[in-house]
Structure 1
Amino acid sequence: MNLLELINVHTYYDGIHALKGISLHVNRGEIVTLIGSNGAGKSTALKTICGHVGKKAGSILYEGNEIIHDSPHLLALRGLAHVPEGRKIFPRLTVKENLEMGGFSLRSKKKVKDRIEMAFQYFPRLKERLDQKAGTMSGGEQQMLAIGRALMMNPKILLLDEPSMGLAPILVEQIFEIIQALNKEGMTILLVEQNAYQALQIAHRGYVIQTGMITLTDDANALLHNPQIKESYLA
């Protein structure tokens, strides 16, 4: 059974028809990537899934249950973790405080501590910066923190929005290696990424979105070698 499925989803905001009937699915244990140009609707798709867009229609199924009208808070509690574009960390809080905010619903201090230690396994640099204000860290470190914060709730699916944005190439490689490592441990991932080459390198399947519509879907390797995709997104 699909872990997540969108069926004929439409999204509207600021008078714009942003998503025009998109359908896609993500199976348990997959990395699925959504690629497209700026303004195509990639980030809107993730925001729609996570309940951050008010006016929408269609069906979004999570573990077989309809969630299109559920609140972001409830969806986070049910295991959908969203790492937004631009990281959105709390710059004036320390690394530790940011991670603790990610575990906002954990009632046990031991659980919070254990989850922080789990985040350190993927991001040992965060342990070195534990008491540092998040806003003073590098872009790569902030991205690690944003993902680490999302992991605090032990999510069933991780929705990543442009994790490589603004990072140096060596840091991009590190972030994508961590994404792969998370997936090998069983994490299901829906990845929005303008760096289509990097995304298709690690994904199992991919969808191409243009002007709010899905125009193509295939195995990631097939998309990687598709002449149309090469010309439009991999040149």
Structure 2
Amino acid sequence: MLELKNVETFYSGIQALKGISLNVEKGEIVTLIGSNGAGKSTALKSISGLVKVGSGQITYKGNDITKKQAHETTLLGIAHVPEGRRIFPKLTVKENLLMGAFSVKDKRAIEERMERAFKYFPKLKDRLEQKGGTMSGGEQQMLAIGRALMMKPELLMLDEPSMGLAPIIVEQIFDIIRELNDEGITILLVEQNAYQALQVAHRGYVIQTGAIRLEGYGKDLIQNNEVREAYLA
């Protein structure tokens, strides 16, 4: 479904990605793990078109999307839930969700997508008129994922969904990630909690200083001594 070939990305002349190559097959959960500043978030931004790729190629379902912008990749079926949730704090829950369906004109389709979001996050249904910025961190994360589901994505990219959340909420988020995948959504997950990520993922990549250092099945990476010492200790 998704393939990166020798992708290099720069921020103000500083190289953030150093020729990374990876692939995500349809129906998989693939995770990227690594320390802060390793390039995980930049990889997702490069795919979704939030940052410009310097060189290399990104293909989605066989089509070159290397130079696509964010609004274009969204229309192709790629939803990106960014680090820090990035909801609209002054908009209500309902308004935030509707922003996720900005390209949908059919009111019935919008209602169906909203009900689907409520299936995973029933609390949102009770908070429709509440301003997003007044919600707890866990609720805002649920809203951010719910907004992404309004796009009816085939590929869902999640950047640090567990950041700053209580353990019980983290468990809920990862349970929902499994459910979404079981329903056919392919997931690319960036996560600081390496153990949780590798438990849920079919495969994983380890990024260090902008380059892929290790890759393998999630269960195998959990047992890898280098991974255990660096990320699971």
Task: State whether TM-score is above 0.5.
Answer: yes
Match of 1:4 among 2, 5, 9: 2
- SS of 2:230's partner is helix
**Structure 2 counterparts to residues 34-113 of structure 1, below 5 A:** 34-113=32-111
Size of the aligned set, in residue pairs, is: 233
Q: Give the structure 2 partner of residue 27 of structure 1.
A: 25
> How much does 1:54 deviate?
2.2
> 5+ unaligned residues in a row in structure 2: which ranges?
none
Q: Name the CA distance, whole Å, in 1 between partners of 2:136 and 2:47.
A: 29
Q: For structure 1, which runs of at least 5 residues remain unmatched after alignment?
A: none
Structure 1 vs Structure 2: percent identity of aligned residues? Answer: 68
1:208 is aligned with what amino acid?
A: V
Corresponding residue of 1:167: 165
Conserved 8 A contact 2:31-2:204: yes
Counterparts of 2:125 and 2:53 in 1: how far apart (Å)?
A: 40
RMSD: 0.6
1:219 aligns with 217
Task: Please tell me the residue identity of whatever aligns with 1:112.
Answer: I
Q: Give, in whole Å, the separation in 1 of the partners of 2:202 and 2:69.
A: 29
CA distance in 2, matches of 1:205, 1:228: 16
Matched, 1:130 2:128: yes
Match among 174, 181, 184 for residue 183 of structure 1? 181
- Aligned partners of 1:232 and 1:225: how far apart in 2? 12
Does structure 1 residue 158 correspond to structure 2 residue 156?
yes
Letter in 1 for 2:135: M
TM-score, normalised via structure 2 length:
0.99
Q: Is the 8 A contact 2:28 2:181 kept in 1?
A: yes
TM-score by length of 1: 0.98
Aligned residue runs from structure 1 range 132-147, under 5 A: 132-147=130-145
